[in-house]
Structure 1
Amino acid sequence: MEDQSHLFEEFWGTSTSTLDNLGSTGLGLPISKQLVEMMRGSIGFESEPERGSIFWFEIPLDSPSVETVKLEKARSSRIKQIAPYKDLPILRGRILIAEDNPANQLIGQTMLERMGLQVDVVANGREAVAAVRSIPYDLVLMDINMPEMDGIEATGAIRKLPGESSGIQIVAMTALAMPGDKERFLSQGMDGYISKPIMREELHACIASVLEDLERPPSTITSDNDTNPADTNTSIIDTEILSTLTRDVGTELLPKIIDKYLSEIPVRVNAITAAADSNDCALIAKEAHPLKSSSAYMGAMGLAELASTLEQAGLELNLEKIKQEVLHLPGLFEQTREELTRAKASETK
């Protein structure tokens, strides 16, 4: 028992008769004692022969502040936000998203990163060509309608690049496709087609097929999610799409995406209204397309369908149709804003 008084001394050994059973303290216990005392605490032990020992320490600690609790909750939310999908296999590869809409960029990047992929984002076709020229991507997800250089022009430019860059897999992305769009995209050098709003499982399957076999024919990575606007039963908000988006990006990120969308749409609405007043069909088609795309992603199908109608009327130079449909735009946007604001509030409770 007298040996116990030396347990917290450096490199102290027990007597020879007990050495085989107890060994020596080394530095572990002395260091523990120093650390505890530095924190204004105390350390000790209780021991009974042939029954074992219990070591204990006590240190004074402050109760966590409200700020500390909030910080830990924020860290926990961030971990949940970037956590991979548990129900989908992890993918490994580097993907380029060419997409000019900020809300769509955020949605796409979040979904791909949660699949395990490395993701870069560019805002137009010219930037996409420059990125492919310098980085060996596994796949490009190419929006069709973008400023400066659209997706079809960018695909043509990529196919003319020297070396292996010209053969990169390119999958077209567009919302509420018109009849014949898929065939047109494939004929312009794209390898596949996927329709917005893009479903998580569909996107995963598309990318997985490319990563597994880069020599697959285009038909094997083509989406079956083609939507004919005329056949769609329209409502202001498709709650199923919005619920799927919430699942795909996480409840923490959804309010930010809604805010991005709602800040962007008034600019589009005003531009379309002004273009209708000046009979500028080309500008109407140009502005209606991103409105259609981002609205479809958000489940705002009423606005997406109206934007699709205006885009088609603009392409067909149908001013009479434009004048009729544009009257519904401000009111429908206001209804959409109210519905999404309510959805955002329910997620932040």
Structure 2
Amino acid sequence: MSKALSLKDLNLRVLAVDDEPANLRVFEQIFEAFGAKVTAVGGGREALALLEFDPFDVLLVDIHMPGVTGLELMRLLRTSSFPSCEAPAIAVTADVYSYRRSDYLRLGFDDFLSKPVPVVGLVETVRRLAASSRRERTSSPSPHWAAQELGAV
């Protein structure tokens, strides 16, 4: 496995949030195979409970979930003082019609991948986001702006 496709050297903690158990199993297998530690949770409420106290390096967030949706999760996280409030986040969804990539970036995500998520694309995206500090990225607005925009979309 080439270093470009490995995550082992980054020693990452990834939080995968999806209401479909099969998707969580796939994400767990991918991240474990490429050398990242992954925690998988089945919804936004569970994710918030973890994020309140535990730091994660990268978040993988499904958009359409019952209860706290991925968009609501991001709004709450980005306006919080949680340890991972500025962690890079990737929106994942099979719904490619409701929002565009630029909408997700405006709402506080750092990137977007459509389901089914391509393995190489996921690993490359996680590596790129984890390797750059949030301060260096200019594509995402401040958390305050993202919270305001959420109601407008």
TM range (shorter): 0.7 to 0.9
- CA shift digits 1:13-67 (9 cap, x unpaired): xxxxxxxxxxxxxxxxxxxxxxxxxxxxxxxxxxxxxxxxxxxxxxxxxxxxxxx
**In the alignment, is residue 188 of structure 1 matched against residue 107 of structure 2?**
yes
The 5 Å alignment of 1:27-38 reads none
Alignment match, 1:129: 48
**In the alignment, is residue 94 of structure 1 matched against residue 13 of structure 2?**
yes
> Following the alignment from structure 2 to structure 1, what is the Cα–Cα distance between the partners of residues 6 and 51?
26
**Structure 1 residues 90 and 166: alpha-carbon distance in aligned structure 2, compared to 1, 3 A threshold:** closer
**Structure 1 residues 195 and 188: alpha-carbon distance in aligned structure 2, compared to 1, 3 A threshold:** same
Q: 1:211 offset after TM fit, Å?
A: 1.9
Percent same amino acid among aligned pairs? Answer: 28
**In the alignment, is residue 117 of structure 1 matched against residue 36 of structure 2?**
yes
Normalised TM-score (structure 1): 0.36
**Structure 1 residues 218 and 103: alpha-carbon distance in aligned structure 2, compared to 1, 3 A threshold:** farther
Determine which of 72, 77, 90 is the counterpart of 1:171.
90
> Following the alignment from structure 1 to structure 2, what is the Cα–Cα distance between the partners of residues 211 and 143?
19
**Structure 1 residues 127 and 201: alpha-carbon distance in aligned structure 2, compared to 1, 3 A threshold:** same
**Structure 1 residues 133 and 96: alpha-carbon distance in aligned structure 2, compared to 1, 3 A threshold:** same
Determine which of 126, 129, 137 is the counterpart of 1:217.
137
- CA shift digits 1:248-291 (9 cap, x unpaired): xxxxxxxxxxxxxxxxxxxxxxxxxxxxxxxxxxxxxxxxxxxx
Question: Is this contact kept in 2: 1:100–1:124, CA < 8 A?
Answer: yes
Normalised TM-score (structure 2): 0.79
Alignment match, 1:8: none
> What is the total number of aligned residue pairs between the two structures?
135
Q: Give unpaired runs (5+ residues) of structure 2.
A: 140-153
The 5 Å alignment of 1:253-272 reads none
**Structure 1 residues 134 and 89: alpha-carbon distance in aligned structure 2, compared to 1, 3 A threshold:** same
Larger Rg: 1
More RCO (CA 8 Å, sep 6+): 2
Structure (1 or 2) with the greater helix fraction: 1
Q: Name segments (4+ residues, structure 1) moved above 4 Å.
A: none
Q: 1:218 offset after TM fit, Å?
A: 6.5
Question: Is this contact kept in 2: 1:192–1:218, CA < 8 A?
Answer: no
> Following the alignment from structure 1 to structure 2, what is the Cα–Cα distance between the partners of residues 107 and 113?
10
**Structure 1 residues 197 and 147: alpha-carbon distance in aligned structure 2, compared to 1, 3 A threshold:** same
RMSD: 2.0
- CA shift digits 1:146-179 (9 cap, x unpaired): 1110000000111122254321211100115116
Alignment match, 2:126: 207
Question: Is this contact kept in 2: 1:109–1:119, CA < 8 A?
Answer: yes
